[in-house]
Structure 1
């Protein structure tokens, strides 16, 4: 049984490398038993945050507390955390069982307990029949299972995972995602997981923390971050590929009437925009449809590129003002075709242009105030 705690608190945690601030006053509370994913592109600060938690990097500001205990001044080996690395970091000369048992031996656990706990960990990751093999005899997915078993066998208070699936092929990533979630639930783990893959984060985590340039942009459930991104940066990262420069023709409540190119569109106001102002309309490709004859809010576009994706086509088109749009369709289209596109108003989010509103983290609120960064 894993050691329990109520809350892991990051209080204005900062880390700088010379003049470069890799992490800036990160405020976050993680509940015991929760699966939290730190999400963002390379250089956003997510791995820095994980290494600060692990004790591999000292803080340059702030504090980390586990319930009432301040732990950022405690040596990494005394924190009781398990770590799963992107590169597996297995000992090639040891067997699978030897790798899993290594940490227990270093902790001077009695031999009988080492054997029992190692066998149980291998059983949980379904590697019992491979216990005698060396890492070089295993597939990438099996090696990652060994790394996970080595982490959980220590019965850690917290499991830290740094992009553990990025070196695997697509089918193995899907398989290991299911395995990681199963272990998290069955063992009652508390997990902090770093990834740049939004689909991976959505499928695994109880809450997502989206970072940009070391600053938290939004924290919330997958449904909140996916459906109500706090700013255009989060929207872009969560699949709103179309970012169209628009003018606000009129505003009624949270509904905006938009004009751009030779088109009109209705969308949801995310930044308290006023009539006559500029905005950016964010739309996912799957939310743009080829319009029927009676559709409202038509967007005329000329097809440029068509990619076959099995049951549907991924299409790039261009508007009359030169802006590109991306959409998906099950119909037949070819470069040079002209179509009218439409999107439901609730699928169009309208933000202020880049830099016109200051960044301001948003957390777990039903109607999130927008943040533009």
Structure 2
């Protein structure tokens, strides 16, 4: 049950408009066979539109979709043969687990012997063999999700499309199912396109991330590249750089830059070739440390402290009154003052 049928899935300038609103603009993406690609962004960024265009559920307003040298955007959804896992699983409540998984094979008139063999294999791989005769209402959320995945992959599709399949699960189950999806992707040798708004989910699952904003691609890259080297301030803010401080450029020298504001002066990396004017300075909360450890230090007033197990998540105020967020294992309380600092290489400076 592996996907060996093609080398590359190509989206060539794919666009989709709803009236005068452009939900997706000129999406260009090459996906290799057996690659796991995550479309990432907030609600309304165009990621589900892109997935529905791939599935054939929405016609294109522009561009084309290709599998190797075959153009497929004119094909009906069922003719594309893609597997799809929906957010709400879309299981048939009156059918057993076995019948749900085998439904697509029955519609394709696959022989009973071959259907039984393929469903048995799918049940084994999603670890639901002993639940084959149960109905969806008798299963947990995670088990229902595994049924939905098995139903998609039992068809031996060239591509599996997943639309936020973990969003209805609790936090513990989401973590477990992330590992399960990655395991199944590797076991089946699938090509997977996965839509999510959760950057942690995307980082842990995907071979490559596609970050979207207002229907346009902001960055495509490996998880470690997008995480550590965001292309712009939007990607930085979405990938966990919670501190986005508007400061003035003091000086710039090659990739180095110095910015300052009321009571704060920082050295960092000049990501947009700025030489003057205002800049947005991006810093992750976990990159701050307590104390005057580096030249990049500032005194803050603690406002809110949240206990997160081994560390505290702290919301504080800069001398300018602007909020700043950091994490620490040191005990702090609202009203405390603290000096925090950050290494210059962890400070990214973008155009506003």
- TM category (shorter chain) comes to over 0.9
What do the CA deviations read for 1:314-338 (whole angstroms, capped 9, x no partner)?
A: 1111111111100001111111111
Gaps of at least 5 residues in structure 2 are: none
- Counting only pairs closer than 5 Å after superposition, residues 225-304 of structure 1 correspond to structure 2 as 225-274=226-275, 276-292=276-292, 295-304=294-303
Alpha-carbon distance between aligned partners in 1 of 2:251 and 2:136, rounded to the nearest angstrom: 63
Q: Normalising by the residue count of structure 2, what TM-score does the alignment of the two structures yield?
A: 0.98
Residue correspondences, number:
351
- Counting only pairs closer than 5 Å after superposition, residues 74-93 of structure 1 correspond to structure 2 as 74-93=75-94
Give the corresponding residue for 1:342: 341
Deviation at 1:254, TM superposition (A): 0.6
Alpha-carbon distance between aligned partners in 1 of 2:13 and 2:326, rounded to the nearest angstrom: 41
Deviation at 1:2, TM superposition (A): 2.5
What do the CA deviations read for 1:6-60 (whole angstroms, capped 9, x no partner)?
A: 1111111001111111101101100111000000000000000000000000001
- Counting only pairs closer than 5 Å after superposition, residues 12-91 of structure 1 correspond to structure 2 as 12-91=13-92
Deviation at 1:245, TM superposition (A): 1.0
Alignment partner of 1:199 is 2:200: yes
Deviation at 1:80, TM superposition (A): 1.5
Alpha-carbon distance between aligned partners in 1 of 2:279 and 2:291, rounded to the nearest angstrom: 23
What do the CA deviations read for 1:255-280 (whole angstroms, capped 9, x no partner)?
A: 11121111211110000010x42111
1:39, 1:195 within 8 Å by CA — same for their partners in 2?
yes
User: Does the residue aligned with 2:42 lie in a helix, a strand or coil?
Assistant: coil
Give the corresponding residue for 2:310: 311
Let me know the Cα RMSD of the aligned residues. Answer: 0.9
Give the corresponding residue for 1:352: 351
Give the corresponding residue for 1:122: 123
Gaps of at least 5 residues in structure 1 are: 354-373
Alpha-carbon distance between aligned partners in 2 of 1:169 and 1:198, rounded to the nearest angstrom: 16
Deviating beyond 6 angstroms after TM superposition, the runs of 4 or more aligned structure 1 residues are: none
1:26, 1:215 within 8 Å by CA — same for their partners in 2?
yes
Q: Normalising by the residue count of structure 1, what TM-score does the alignment of the two structures yield?
A: 0.93
Alpha-carbon distance between aligned partners in 1 of 2:335 and 2:179, rounded to the nearest angstrom: 43
Alpha-carbon distance between aligned partners in 1 of 2:259 and 2:341, rounded to the nearest angstrom: 13
